[in-house]
């Protein structure tokens, strides 16, 4: 298949010709200046002579760069000044207009340099040509250097090329982040390895947020990145400006019960590396709060086994149990009874009876919660919330629950609560060691039976 090419416009040819004439004059001036400076200081300590960059919006230049057309890039960028030209792109983006009262297309100008474009798109040959023509490796036009963009797009070959030519491995973007902060995709693992081998600082914190690379990959559930950073000395105790650890970031990043498997591996890695399961941020929100708010029972159980407190309240007064109740309203087709049982087994207190209405249409979860009381509390609030069709489908459970409101429970249930109270937050671990038949052990741990007795 033939390589796609783009014709030069008359305006681009004219601008290039004028640029050539200007560059010849400027080169003579620079040569004289450099000769003068070389007489005052050795070449190794001479400061680089710089001048204002020129901007380019010519479509032919844009097409050559964004398509990776090496022949056109070689023709257009034949010296240092051309290689460091500012490339401007204009795109229409939706923006809210208070005056007109609706969204309107607003042109937005973005600036960058040729090397950043080539590196971010993986055009290694084009990037090599630009570097050899004098492109500044660490220029941050538009906020990011070429190494930032190559890492953000997981362009391993371009990362290797830039580092080989001497790009600063810890160069900061205008936002105060390093290239290692931008290794955010699974495909960027090799980029992260190259950066660390070149001396990247694994515990560097972003300027304002104080987020470290470990926070970034933990939040995204990148277990291989986490393992790599831990091997290179990543500190699991470092906190962001909001007081969050990487463990909290991992639990907050797990979105929903069905998508937490990769975060579960990350959480286990962090805990084994010494992360504190009780570490709370400035709003006293613990990793367990985040896991419960996202409905991740596997994460919650892992944290509880490593010492997380099931009854701690955050700054808003919410316990992990409250977070689960809030998640029930936001997450359809979810069965939270496993998470409720785990929290109760690790010492959480029964929910306030008024909160039972949030689980009214989840009979299995409601059963677990009702069995945490010595007697079934008044049911007016949750009975009214049950969908009639669901009541008909699970009539045996709902009828038994309503019949037991404020009635004495069976001695077997009271004995269960007495044993659970004695065991406290060690209930789950102790039950596994008690010499009990499996049926009784399941009953002790609030197994769902389908009715209240």
Whether the domain at 11-20+54-98+110-199 and the domain at 202-349 fall into the same CATH topology? yes
Query: In CATH, what class is 11-20+54-98+110-199?
Result: mainly alpha
Cα distance between residue 97 and residue 104, in whole Å: 7
pLDDT for the residue numbered 314:
93
> Helices in 156-222 by DSSP H: which ranges?
156-164, 189-197, 213-219
Coil/strand/helix, residue 28? helix
Token couple for 72: 């056109």
pLDDT for the residue numbered 322:
93
pLDDT for the residue numbered 44:
38
Per the CB < 8 A criterion, the answer to whether 356 and 367 are in contact is no
- Tokens 């640029």 appear where? 19
Task: Provide the strand spans (E) within 59-217.
Answer: 86-97, 102-112
Per the CB < 8 A criterion, the answer to whether 275 and 352 are in contact is no
pLDDT for the residue numbered 10:
53
Coil/strand/helix, residue 275? coil
pLDDT for the residue numbered 274:
96
pLDDT for the residue numbered 246:
97
Cα distance between residue 299 and residue 170, in whole Å: 33
Coil/strand/helix, residue 6? coil
Q: Where are the domains of the chain?
A: 11-20+54-98+110-199, 202-349, 350-453
Residues in the chain with pLDDT values less than 50: 1-8, 25, 36-50
pLDDT for the residue numbered 19:
55
Query: In CATH, what class is 202-349?
Result: mainly alpha
| Residue 382: count of CB within 10 angstroms of its CB | 24
Q: Is 411 exposed, middle or buried (0-12, 13-18, 19+ CB in 10 A)?
A: exposed
Question: For residue 296, which phi and psi values (nearest 5 degrees)?
Answer: -100, 90
| Residue 440: count of CB within 10 angstroms of its CB | 14
Cα distance between residue 59 and residue 181, in whole Å: 32
Query: pLDDT tens digits, residue range 10-32?
Result: 555 555 555 555 555 455 555 55
Query: pLDDT tens digits, residue range 249-290?
Result: 999 998 876 666 889 999 999 999 999 999 999 899 999 999
Structure pTM?
0.83
pLDDT for the residue numbered 219:
96
Average pLDDT, the chain: 87
Cα distance between residue 213 and residue 225, in whole Å: 9
Residue closest to 225 by CA, chosen among 242, 209, 249? 249
Cα distance between residue 245 and residue 27, in whole Å: 53
């Amino acid at each position: 298949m033939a390589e796609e090419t783009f014709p030069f416009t008359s305006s681009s040819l004219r601008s290039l010709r004028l640029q050539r004439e200007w560059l010849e004059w400027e080169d003579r001036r620079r040569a004289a200046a450099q000769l003068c400076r070389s007489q005052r200081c050795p070449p190794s300590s001479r400061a680089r002579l710089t001048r204002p960059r020129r901007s380019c919006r010519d479509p032919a230049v844009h097409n050559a760069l964004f398509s990776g057309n090496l022949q056109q890039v070689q023709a257009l960028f034949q010296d240092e000044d051309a290689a460091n030209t500012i490339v401007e792109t204009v795109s229409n983006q939706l923006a809210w207009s208070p005056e007109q009262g609706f969204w309107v297309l607003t042109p937005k100008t973005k600036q960058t340099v040729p090397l950043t474009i080539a590196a971010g798109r993986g055009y290694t040959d084009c990037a090599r040509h630009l570097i050899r023509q004098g492109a500044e490796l660490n220029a941050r036009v538009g906020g990011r250097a070429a190494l930032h963009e190559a890492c953000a797009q997981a362009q391993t070959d371009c990362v290797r090329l830039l580092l080989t030519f001497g790009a600063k491995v810890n160069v900061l973007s205008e936002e105060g982040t390093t290239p290692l902060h931008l290794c955010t995709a699974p495909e960027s693992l090799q980029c992260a390895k190259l950066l660390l081998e070149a001396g990247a600082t694994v515990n560097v914190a972003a300027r304002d947020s104080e987020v470290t690379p470990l926070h970034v990959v933990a939040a995204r559930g990148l277990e291989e990145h986490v393992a790599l950073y831990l091997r290179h000395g990543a500190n699991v105790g470092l906190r962001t400006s909001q007081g969050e650890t990487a463990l909290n970031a991992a639990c907050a990043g797990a979105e929903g019960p069905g998508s937490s498997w990769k975060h579960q591996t990350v959480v286990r890695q962090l805990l084994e590396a010494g992360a504190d399961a009780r570490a709370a941020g400035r709003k006293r929100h613990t990793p367990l709060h985040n896991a419960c708010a996202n409905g991740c029972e596997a994460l919650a159980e892992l944290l509880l086994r490593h010492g997380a407190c099931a009854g701690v309240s955050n700054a808003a007064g919410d316990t992990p149990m409250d977070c689960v109740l809030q998640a029930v309203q936001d997450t359809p087709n979810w069965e939270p009874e496993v998470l409720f049982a785990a929290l109760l087994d690790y010492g959480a207190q029964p929910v306030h009876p008024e909160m039972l209405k949030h689980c009214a249409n989840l009979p299995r979860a409601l059963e677990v919660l009702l069995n945490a009381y010595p007697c079934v509390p008044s049911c007016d609030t949750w009975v009214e919330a049950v969908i009639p069709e669901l009541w008909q489908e699970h009539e045996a459970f709902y009828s038994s629950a309503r019949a037991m409101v404020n009635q004495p429970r069976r001695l077997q249930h009271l004995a269960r609560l007495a044993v659970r109270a004695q065991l406290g937050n060690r209930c789950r671990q102790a039950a596994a060691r008690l010499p009990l038949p499996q049926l009784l052990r399941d009953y002790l741990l609030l197994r769902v039976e389908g009715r209240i007795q």
